[in-house]
């Protein structure tokens, strides 16, 4: 097997493509561009995320549903106002067999237009509220931009939650509860830190009222990345689709319900790969690793008799059972015809968090030797301690991976109060926190003002786009606001703006 042929620091986009291919996460669907096959190693991660998230939304009272794949032109008409911007991304079916359909149907790019006519039918009284459905499915958006596995695909797996509430406050409470679950997927499962915040008017979902988001950071190219979104739709969609109830407090009056919609997709896997991977390949956080520990026999030289070898492998098998009974997802690699070194490379490429070697020398001392995938640190563990030491070591690996990524994000999230410091900060692979007026025209101008041909080292981002000389976009208005912004006094940092700053706003080059 050949490992990764380029270094992450030198050629990030090719490094990423090789990792997702050689770690057997993805296969390119060469028949049609922009589509990818997700293999068992990917589906294990996605299913772990799904179980974790599903358990928690069920506890909130969210029920599961499955709506049709297609939506009609008629129902799309209802959300015409904001869909027209998305029209180029819609995939249409116009024929069945060799016959034209009377009216063409669109493959869902998201399911508001599919679901909400039925919300109007099912939600009639305040007793029907809160109304909460979620579906796990795939959606199609015919992206014009260069696609890349997990990060930008024309079809991707996600969950889309769609809920209805009596008041803005009740809707708002759920928006934040779900956002916190999204942060949990990143921080507790994927060991990826995220900043929680609200999107600006320019970056929010145009059909909604406000959008909250978890924003990631990719150290390799200093770019921000949107991790998942939880929108409050206000009454915009309930007015479009006539989803209303009798006002419980005013006889004969009607009340449009307050709605939310929230989504997290397989993009999360791409973020994890980009942040934790290294030049040997994938590095998996233990909590989402299909194989947490791989056992490899070593030192089985020709000098050993068949009986000795058999006895040794028997002990190794006992160690394997001990680990499994301690709840560790462990396997052994007994493949003949491959050297231990070959096996080490293979499992490092696939990101297995902990390698355990067991040879005659170890056996003689009743220990195993281990090597951590994240730091390469090696050591020994007494066989008698395995059931406590290995789970603890896996948890240490999980925590260390998070802490390292968190330190990198914090070190590259710079608070800036002088405009001339912005572009140099971006060119040094930072995202920035600046006092901002939060207005759309100003944001647009800032994007133009911050295009640079500064040297950023990494030549291409994973989506194959040009080196990040693009201007900076707003990523979010962090809920956690730094000190130092005096309302009514501090100015927006854009020198051409002149308005007062409303909030610290995080900006960066982004996916
Ligand atoms: O982002 C989410 C979470 C899950 C439910 N949906 C919301 C908003 C989706 C925003 N969006 C995003 N992309 C779209 C692409 C299209 F082609 C199209 F017709 C519509 C949309 C579109 O509405
Ligand atoms: Mg899009």
| C-alpha of residue 128 to centroid of ligand 2, in Å | 32
* CA-wise closest residue to 381 among 328, 460, 309: 328
Q: In what order do the strands lie in the sheet with 293-297?
A: 330-332, 293-297, 354-358, 367-372, 378-382
Q: In this structure, which ligand is nearest to the CA of 145? A: 2
Q: Ligand 1: does its nearest atom lie under 6 Å from the Cβ of 269?
A: no
Q: Ligand 1: does its nearest atom lie under 6 Å from the Cβ of 86?
A: yes
Checking DSSP bridges between strand 70-72 and strand 258-265, what pairing results, if any? unpaired
Does position 369 have pLDDT exceeding 60, yes or no? Answer: yes
Dihedral (Cα; 487, 493, 498, 503), 10-degree rounding:
-30
Mean pLDDT of 335-362: 97
| C-alpha of residue 417 to centroid of ligand 2, in Å | 32
Does position 1 have pLDDT exceeding 70, yes or no? Answer: no
HSE (side-chain half, CA atoms, 13 Å) at 508: 29
Q: Ligand 1: does its nearest atom lie under 6 Å from the Cβ of 67?
A: no
- What's the pLDDT tens digit per position in 465-499? 555 479 999 999 999 999 999 999 999 999 999 99
Residue 452's pLDDT band (cuts 50, 70, 90): confident
Q: Ligand 1: does its nearest atom lie under 6 Å from the Cβ of 208?
A: no
Mean pLDDT of 220-243: 97
Q: What is the pLDDT of residue 426?
A: 97
Does position 54 have pLDDT exceeding 70, yes or no? Answer: yes
Q: How distant, in Å, are the alpha carbons of 332, 363, 382, 388, 504 from that of 326?
A: 16, 20, 15, 8, 47
Q: What is the pLDDT of residue 195?
A: 98
Locate the ligand 1 atom nearest the alpha carbon of residue 211 and give its number: 1
What does the DSSP assignment read for 363-428?
HHTTEEEEEETTT--EEEEEGGGHHHHHHHHHHHHHHHHHHHHHHHHHHTEEE--SGGGHHHHHHT
Mean pLDDT of 436-450: 97
Q: What is the pLDDT of residue 458?
A: 45
Dihedral (Cα; 59, 61, 67, 71), 10-degree rounding:
-110
- What's the pLDDT tens digit per position in 99-115? 999 999 999 999 999 99
Does position 457 have pLDDT exceeding 50, yes or no? Answer: no
Mean pLDDT of 5-9: 97
Q: Ligand 1: does its nearest atom lie under 6 Å from the Cβ of 292?
A: no
Cα–Cα distance, 225 to 310 (Å, whole number): 52
Q: Is 158 helix (H, G, I), strand (E, B) or coil?
A: strand
Residue 462's pLDDT band (cuts 50, 70, 90): low
Lowest mean pLDDT among 158-172, 324-338, 373-387, 456-470: 456-470
Max avg pLDDT among 66-75, 77-86, 170-179, 448-457: 170-179
| C-alpha of residue 464 to centroid of ligand 1, in Å | 24
Does position 461 have pLDDT exceeding 70, yes or no? Answer: no
Q: Ligand 1: does its nearest atom lie under 6 Å from the Cβ of 193?
A: no
Give, for ligand 1, the residue of 71, 86, 236, 265 to mutate: max count of ligand atoms closer than 8 Å to Cβ. Answer: 86
- What's the pLDDT tens digit per position in 240-286? 999 999 998 888 999 999 999 999 999 999 999 999 999 999 999 99
HSE (side-chain half, CA atoms, 13 Å) at 137: 19
Mean pLDDT of 69-85: 89
Q: What is the pLDDT of residue 300?
A: 93
Q: Ligand 1: does its nearest atom lie under 6 Å from the Cβ of 413?
A: no
Q: What is the pLDDT of residue 95?
A: 98
Q: Which is more confident, 322 or 81?
A: 322
Q: If you average pLDDT over every residue of the chain, what do you get?
A: 96
Provide φ and ψ at 99, rounded to 5°.
Answer: -105, 140
Tell me the percentage of the chain whose pLDDT exceeds 70.
97
Q: Residue 32: is it exposed, middle or buried by C-beta count within 10 angstroms (0-12/13-18/19+)?
A: exposed
Provide φ and ψ at 168, rounded to 5°.
Answer: -60, -40
Kindly report the protein residue whose alpha carbon is nearest to atom 8 of ligand 1. Answer: 205
């Amino acid at each position: 097997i050949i490992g990764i042929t380029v270094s992450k620091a030198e050629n990030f986009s090719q490094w990423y493509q090789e990792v997702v291919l050689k770690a057997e996460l993805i296969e390119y669907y060469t028949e049609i561009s922009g589509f990818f096959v997700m293999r068992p190693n990917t589906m294990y991660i996605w299913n772990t995320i799904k179980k974790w998230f599903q358990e928690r939304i069920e506890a909130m009272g969210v029920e599961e549903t499955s709506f049709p794949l297609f939506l009609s032109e008629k129902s799309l008409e209802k959300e015409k106002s904001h869909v027209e911007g998305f029209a180029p991304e819609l995939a249409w079916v116009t024929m069945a067999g060799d016959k034209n359909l009377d009216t063409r149907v669109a493959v869902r790019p998201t399911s508001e237009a599919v679901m909400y006519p039925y919300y109007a039918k099912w939600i009639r009284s305040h007793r029907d509220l809160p109304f909460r459905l979620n579906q796990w499915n795939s959606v199609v958006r015919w992206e014009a931009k260069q696609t890349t596995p997990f990060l930008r695909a024309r079809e991707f797996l996600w969950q889309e939650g769609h809920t209805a509430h009596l008041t803005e406050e009740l809707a708002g409470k759920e928006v934040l509860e779900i956002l916190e679950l999204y942060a949990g997927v990143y921080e507790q499962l994927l060991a990826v830190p995220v900043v929680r915040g609200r999107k600006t008017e320019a970056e929010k979902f145009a059909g909604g009222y406000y959008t909250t988001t978890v924003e990631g950071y990719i150290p390799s190219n200093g770019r921000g990345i949107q991790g998942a979104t939880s929108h409050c739709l206000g009454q915009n969609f309930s007015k479009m689709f006539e989803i209303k109830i009798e006002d419980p407090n005013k006889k004969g009056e009607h009340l449009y319900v307050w709605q939310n919609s929230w989504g997290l997709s397989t993009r999360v896997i791409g973020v994890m790969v980009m942040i934790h991977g290294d030049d040997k390949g994938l590095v998996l956080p233990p909590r989402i690793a299909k194989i947490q520990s791989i056992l490899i026999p070593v030192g089985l030289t020709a000098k050993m008799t068949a009986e000795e070898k058999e006895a040794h492998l028997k002990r190794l098998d006992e160690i394997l059972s001990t680990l499994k009974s301690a709840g560790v997802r462990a396997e052994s690699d007994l493949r003949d015809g491959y050297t231990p070194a070959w096996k080490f490379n293979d499992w490092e490429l696939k990101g297995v968090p902990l390698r355990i070697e067991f040879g005659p020398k170890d056996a003689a001392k009743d220990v195993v030797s281990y090597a951590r995938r994240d730091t390469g640190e090696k050591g020994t563990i007494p066989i008698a301690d395995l059931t406590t030491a290995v789970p603890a070591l896996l948890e240490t690996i999980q925590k260390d991976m998070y802490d390292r990524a968190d330190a990198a994000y914090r070190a590259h999230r710079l608070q800036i109060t002088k405009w001339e410091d912005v572009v140099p900060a971006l060119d040094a692979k930072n995202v920035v926190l600046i006092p901002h007026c939060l207005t759309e025209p100003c944001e647009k101008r800032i994007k133009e003002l911050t295009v640079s041909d500064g040297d950023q080292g990494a030549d291409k981002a994973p989506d194959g786009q040009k080196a990040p000389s693009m201007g900076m976009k707003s990523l979010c208005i962090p809920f956690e606001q730094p000190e130092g912004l005096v309302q009514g006094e501090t100015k927006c940092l854009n020198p051409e703006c002149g308005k007062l700053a409303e909030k610290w706003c995080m900006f960066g080059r982004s996916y």
